[in-house]
Amino acid sequence: MSEQRADVIGLGMIGGGVAVSLARRGRVPVVYDIRPDAADHLAGVPAPLASPAEVARASDVVLVAVVDADQARTVLSGEQGLLSGARPGLVVVLLSTVAVPVVRELAETCAKAGVELLDCGVTPGDKAAENGLVAILGGAESTVERATPVLADFAKRVVHCGPLGAGMATKIARNVITYGTWRAVHEASTLAEAAGVDPAKLLTVIDAADPEGATLLSWQRMRLAGKPETRAMVPQVERLLDKDLAAAQDLAGRVGVAVPLVDVARKHGKETLEIRVREDA
């Protein structure tokens, strides 16, 4: 195990789970939370220190898992903030989901103190205490390499997506899929129910037909592969897409259900199905 000292600020669902995973791997973290009793029910995690500055003094890598941008700014630069106790070379790994410009702002603030920042979206949050997160990294390759032993102690997979901001952009895009899918399921279920179908029957059909959810990403995988034979399929698939979504719009009109996602999906069907053939395909 690396001798790096890895510590955690923010002991909510994600930060608390990360701290438990680190402790289970023998990398017992120093922690901070505004709640003095935040670690009471976290296995192997000691009581919080008095300030982020104290955490920084004991750390090589600090994992910041707060709720939003304002909390991240306070943790870094507030009274007894992390940077007031940091030494040059400290790595801050931001686990919070914030806008990409905020990542760059926080990185500039850290750089003034000789501290390096990585943006690290994580998912799924409820698996943090089970070493079950995927860590989605943005930042310099050398900094990622330094932090990877710590990341591997709480994440089942570490994916370096590119330079600063790339990890956060990837996490944001992943969230679009999550919430967009929720909306699609909402529209479909509402449509089925308005047509006299028990929505639970729709779930039964989906579970039976596509239990692993492979259909959700199937076309995007084909797009990324960029094979000529896939592009040849586009006209037929486009006809099917347009026909099927037209039927959905017709049903929605008959039962009085608004389906804005269906409307957008049909309108932009050609764009959705576009295939760019790779030269090496």
Residues forming the active site: 171
**Residue 175's Cα: distance from chain center in Å?**
6
Q: SS3 sequence, the chain?
A: CCCCCEEEECCCHHHHHHHHHHHHCCCCCCEECCCCCCCCCCCCCCCCCCCHHHHHHCCCEEEECCCCHHHHHHHHHCCCCHHHCCCCCCEEEECCCCCHHHHHHHHHHHHHCCCEEEEEEEECHHHHHHCCEEEEEECCHHHHHHHHHHHCCCEEEEEEEECCCHHHHHHHHHHHHHHHHHHHHHHHHHHHHHCCCCHHHHHHHHHHHCCCCCHHHHHHHHHHHCCHHHHHHHHHHHHHHHHHHHHHHHHHHHHCCCCHHHHHHHHCHHHHHCCCCCCCC
Nearest to 184 by CA among 248, 95, 261: 261
